[in-house]
C-alpha cells in the first residue's frame, strides 16, 4: 500500500492510526515486514531468490557493522579514565569541574571516532570502531539444546512454526512478531546463547531443522 500510494511507511501508518482514532476504519498494526513484488516473471526463480538472499545478507552485514561501531564508540567513551588531581594540590577539585573535564575528554573521543567513521570511504569500519571482543563461535551444548527446542515445538500442536532464523533470534533473546519478548522472556531458551555468534547459531539451527524433517520432505528439494 505504501509503495502504491508513494508514501513513506511511517507516514502511512500515522494516517491509518488517525483514521482509526476517528472511527473511520478498524485495523490491527504489526511490525513492518519485507515485501517483494515481481514486476515480470524471471527466467530463473532460484537465481532470483539467491540474488535476493545475497542482497539481504549484505544489508544485514552492513547494519551489524554499524551497530558494532556505535557500541564500540559508546564503550570507549564510557571507559575514558578519570584524571586524578595533582599530588601537590591541597584542596580537592570541585565535582562540577571534574565532570566537565571528563565530559570534555569523552566528547573529544566521540568526535574523533565519528570523524574516522565517516572519513572511511571504502565502506569498511575503522579498526578503532571494530567490535571490542571476539564473539565465541562454538558451544558444547548448542546443537543438543536446539534439538530439544525443536522437539518441544513439534510436540506442541499450538506452537507456531519455527525456522533457523527464528531459533537463532530466540537463543539470542531478540524479539520478533511471532516470538515477542513479553511472551518468551521467561522461556528457558530465551537468550540462552546470546554470547555465541548469531550466524553460527543460525547455521546449526538450519542443519537441525532440515534433519528434523521427514525423510521424503528432505529429499524433495533435490528432485527436479
Please state, in angstroms and rounded to a whole number, the distance separating the CA atoms of residues 202 and 170. Answer: 10
Q: Which residue has the higher pLDDT, 70 or 18?
A: 18
Q: pLDDT value at position 191?
A: 94
d(CA 14, CA 12): 5
pLDDT tens digit string along 129-146? 655 555 676 788 999 999
Q: Coil, strand or helix: which one is 123?
A: coil
Maximum distance among all alpha carbons in the chain? 85
How many CA atoms does the CB half-sphere of 47 hold within 13 Å? 4
Q: Give which of 177, 179, 176 is closest to 28, Cα–Cα.
A: 177
The CA-based angle 171-69-64, given to 5 degrees, is 40
- Distance in angstroms (rounded) separating the CA atoms of residues 192 and 170: 8
Q: Tell me which of 116-125, 151-160, 162-171 is least confident.
A: 116-125
Identity of the highest mean pLDDT range in 33-42, 55-64, 184-193: 184-193
Is the whole-model pTM more than 0.85? no
Give yes or no for residue 85 having a pLDDT over 60.
Answer: no
Taking only the tens place, the pLDDT of each residue in 53-75 is 899 888 888 887 788 788 888 88
Return the domain boundaries, the chain: 1-30, 47-81+95-129, 142-222
Cα dist from 30 to 27, 63, 176, whole Å: 10, 22, 10
**End-to-end Cα, the chain, rounded Å:** 36
Highest mean pLDDT of the ranges 52-56, 82-86, 205-209: 205-209
122/202: higher pLDDT: 202
How distant is the alpha carbon of residue 153 from its chain centre?
A: 23
Amino acid at each position: 500500500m505504501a509503495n502504491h500510494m508513494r508514501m513513506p511507511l511511517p507516514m502511512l501508518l500515522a494516517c491509518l492510526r488517525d483514521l482509526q482514532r476517528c472511527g473511520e476504519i478498524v485495523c490491527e498494526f504489526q511490525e513492518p515486514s519485507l515485501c517483494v513484488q515481481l514486476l515480470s516473471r524471471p527466467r530463473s526463480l532460484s537465481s532470483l531468490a539467491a540474488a535476493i538472499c545475497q542482497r539481504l545478507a549484505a544489508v544485514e552485514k552492513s547494519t551489524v557493522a554499524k551497530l558494532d561501531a556505535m557500541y564500540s564508540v559508546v564503550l570507549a567513551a564510557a571507559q575514558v579514565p578519570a584524571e586524578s588531581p595533582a599530588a601537590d594540590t591541597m584542596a580537592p577539585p570541585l565535582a562540577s569541574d571534574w565532570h566537565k573535564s571528563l565530559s570534555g575528554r569523552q566528547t573529544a573521543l566521540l568526535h574523533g571516532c565519528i570523524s574516522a567513521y565517516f572519513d572511511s570511504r571504502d565502506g569498511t569500519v575503522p579498526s578503532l570502531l571494530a567490535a571490542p571482543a571476539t564473539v565465541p563461535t562454538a558451544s558444547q551444548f548448542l546443537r543438543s539444546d536446539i534439538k530439544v527446542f525443536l522437539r518441544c515445538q513439534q510436540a506442541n500442536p499450538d506452537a507456531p512454526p519455527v525456522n533457523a532464523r527464528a531459533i537463532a533470534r530466540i537463543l539470542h533473546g531478540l524479539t520478533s512478531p511471532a516470538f515477542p519478548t513479553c511472551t518468551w522472556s521467561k522461556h528457558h531458551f530465551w537468550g540462552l546463547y546470546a554470547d555465541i555468534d548469531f550466524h553460527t547459531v543460525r547455521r546449526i539451527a538450519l542443519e537441525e531443522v532440515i534433519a528434523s524433517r521427514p525423510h521424503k520432505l528432505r529429499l524433495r528439494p533435490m528432485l527436479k
